Each structure stands twice: as C-alpha cells, then as structure tokens.
Chains A and B, each alone.
Chain A
C-alpha cells in the first residue's frame, strides 16, 4: 500500500535516471564529448553506503506517514544528498588516477536527477514536519556547511567544474563581487526613486495612469534589446562629454548595464509601494489622525511601516530579476558571472557554464530566502 506517492515518484525517477543516464562522464579534453560512467560502476566498497538512505526513502513511501517518519525522510534525504556529492567527488578522484591529467571528469545526468530528487524529498519532508522558520534556517545552514566542508577538504577537487574554478580563482571571486555590485548598484537608485514614485502614484491617479503603462512597456522590452537601445544614446553622450566617458559612461561596460537594471527594477518597486500604501486601512489612518498626527507623521509612522512587507516583496521581485538580467549584461561587457557563463557557452564547455550558472542560481535562492525571512519577520511582529 503506497502511503506517500510523492516520495514514490521521486524514488522511481531516481532509479530510472540512475539506470539510464551517466553518473559521471570522462572526456579526454574539453572539446570532445565524454564517455558515460553509470551509477552502478561507481558503487563499490564503502560507497555502497549511499544505498542505505536511498533504501530508507523507498521503504518510507509505503509506511504510515507519522511525524517521526517525516523527520526520518528528511534526514535520509539530506544524508543521500551529501553522500551523493561525496560519492561523485571520490569516484572522480579514483577515475582521475587512471586517465591523463588533461582528461575532464564531469557530473552526468543521473547525478543531477538524483540530486534534484533528494532535494525535493528533503523539502517535502520538511514541509510535512511544519518546522518553525528558525529551524528551517538552521537546517539549510547545516546542509550548506556540510557542502562547504566537502569543498574545502578537497573531496570535489577532481571534478571538472572544480578544475575550471581552480584555473580562474581570482577571476571567479571578482565576477561574483561584480555581479553583486551590479545588482546592489541598480537596486539602490530603484528603491530611492521607486518608493517616492509609488507614494506619488497612490496620491495622484493622474500620475499613476501615465506612469504604470510607461514602466510596463520598459518591463516588456527584452533585456538585450534595451541594452542595445541604450547603447547608441549613451555612447553619443560619452562622445559629446569626455568627462562622462572618463566616469565609465559609455555604450559598453557596467554603467549602461546598471542603468538598464534600474529601469527594469522600477516597475516592481513602484507598483508594490502603491499597492502596499493603498492596502492600509482607512480606519487606521483615521485613528492616527485622531491621535493628532500630522500628514508626514502619518506617512512615516503609519502608512510606510504597514506597507513595508508589500514594498519588500516588490524589492524581492526586482532583486531576483536583476540577478538574472545582470547575467545577460555580460554581452555588453559588464562582466560578472554571466561572462563566465557565456564564455562556457561559446566554448561548448558545460562545466564552465555551470561555474557561471550555479552561483547565479545560488545568489537568487539566497536573496529569495533572505527576503522570505525579512518579510516573514515583519508580518509577525505586532506593531
């Protein structure tokens, strides 16, 4: 009798993937496609341990779903995830001894499917446990810590993605910094402009009627087209005023990218500010007026704090969007993680693409989690 169909689907998906796809691939160099190494071939000796949590998960799908079992499922899924990573690293290290040093050992489809299935099983188990927010944060930190220890201890050094990293350590760190800088540099002006614009749009329907269609059009235009459309006027400006060019204003580089990111970020920030302010109940405003508050006091002490969760969710949308768009900005020479991604794309090197893409995805997930924490905290604290 199946008691947890989600778990069953995940286990079956994992089994199918591990029997049909490569767990690792070995290629003589970056340009040639690799030879697949199946999951079965890396399972021997101590590495058979990885089957224990896998077996627990398969069995748990048929047991009555009690909280204690959910905790077990979450623990088994987390264990499976970490063992899988360790197994991939150590199997790659063993393989590396048998092949020339230029050979590249990459993670295969089976690894990624198993990893995703384990992560989904973990998140489903945690969801059913209905843990408080701090416990979830702690669990995420513990998992990330374990992955960090594995990275630092050299367990994953033989994998091609780590080799790509090792070949460009300083460039990689600079790319992350530049990516984050682009996002922050875009969000600051977008917040400073968007919140007042949203407040104005809330007060004056005329402003709102002309502002939002305009911002909506900007939001509609594909990022690379907007970069392109900004290019000609910006390089024209730089040509007219050499002083501006010295400041970095031109068609190419980080500044035009930041300008485009600000334009994109304005819609979510402005719209959510206006909606958040509109949602403040008139009774609360009346009470504030009754206490003798002036209009500015009312705005700063009542309206803005009450609208803050909504404004923050607008900022969340703007941040996630900016993290993704900053990757495209590499095409106009803005650098960042997108530069690594496109370098890999043009060289047809998946590991290099992943070295760019994984930090972008992690940045987005981290930003999302931070906003979740912040907004959840604001909604809970009585004010």
Chain B
C-alpha cells in the first residue's frame, strides 16, 4: 500500500487551472482538429480500461444473485441467472444441510457472520493501536530533539525493506511460544504497535506543523503529552483519518498472517474463510454462486469505505511516501 503525505496532488488542479489553461488553449489554436480526434480515441481507450476494471465487480454481484442450476445453463446471460438470495443464505449458514446440497452448495457448515465479526475485530484493533502508537513515535521523531533521533528513525525505516515472510516465520514461533495461536492478540500484536510505514507517513505531516503552534501551547503550561493530544492530533485529523482508512483496508485484506496463526473457527477472518470455502467446494460443480456471494461479503465493507472516502484516498496516492 502506498500513500503520500503532501497535499501536492490535491493542490495541483487549482494551480494548473490558473496557470496553464490560457497557454495550452493558445497552443491548441492552430491545430484544433487533430487533438480532438485524439481525445475521442483517448476516451475510447479509457472506456475500455474502465470496463475491464469494473466488469469483474459487476460479475461478482450478478453471480451472487444467481442460482447454481441456472448459472450453468445461462453462462452468457449478462443479468442474474434465476434471481435469488439463496447464495447469501448459504454463506450465512441460514440453510439446512439438505437445502444447501440441493442448491449446489457444499456440505460443510459455514457461518460468515462470525468471520465478518472476526475481520471487524482484527481490523479495528490493528488500526486503533497502530495509528495511535505510530503517531506517538512519529511525534518523537518529528518534534522532539534528542541525540540519536535520525539514526533511530533510519533503523525503524529499514524494516520496510524486509520481506514479510522473513519475519513471519520467527513471529509465528514467538506467537506459538506465547500460547497465542488462534487468539485475537496473536492476530493483531505484530502490527499493533507500529509499522514503519505508519510512523514514516505521520512524521511527514508532523514536520509540517508550525513550531509556533506547539510553543504557544507549551507556554500556556501544557506538557508534552497534553500538547500532543490536544494540539498535534486534532491538527492532523485529516492525515490520521487517511492513514486509519489505509490501515483498516490493509488489515481487512491481510491473508498470509491470519492463515498462519488464525485457523480456528472462532478467530478465522474473512480472507482465510474464503480460501477454505474455495478448497471445500466440490471439484465437479463448484458452488459458484455461494463463492461469489462470499467474496461480495468480504469486499463490500471496503468498497463502501472506498465510496465514502474515495476522494481522500485517491488524493493520498502520490510520492511523499511509498510502501
């Protein structure tokens, strides 16, 4: 995942609207026909890109509302094949075993409510801890003066280069030694206190806050902790929200770590459940409708979050920081 800190991309359109339009309009004058043809072609290409990008989402939706029997017969039907909610009933364990089998579902009992809850718990806990503790660290790196600060920061950042699996193996051993396999703490702890990216991301913002603001608060008698909580955090509400959204999405989508330490039913998150659901589907005639309904359940919260906060997320992609 990657993001930026600066507001640069957001600011650019304004700047360009003022500075560039007259110039480019003038430049376009003499050969106004060719760019027009080019633009039509460009939009055609863009339309194809958007179609390819969005079609799978539509297809997931369409299949989730179909029946397995009709899906086979109407593989080329662009609408739902035999509109029904049965697939969702199967996914949420609302059907009996016989019903499920009759609908072309798997025999195993699945309960996506539970996995949905588990995903919410894990993603929420990860986000709250990681963002708050990373903000504290970022404050120390951006705002406090102490010997060895820049070196310490560089050491923290170097963790960005380490591939996940390299630390995942010893971390698994650690979680096992602590007796935390198949518990929420085991799932959350490794990313609860910090990620190099989160610290880096927030440090960039804190660096940009005018020192005077902070000094005013200190003169008023506020200590460091109070300044941090009452001045720095509220002033950084926007970047903190962005980071929180990105962290939440990341935690929600994580597959590898929960696969290692969260196999048991009571802590299983949606991504892991999906993998199991897929491997349980009968080889000959998979429960496609059920599978797509399940993927929809797993993707929907993120898609909704994206729709609600899309502009902020889109503008956060850029170059001050990459992970």
Chains A and B form a bound pair:
no
Q: Which residues of A contact B (CB under 8 A)?
A: none
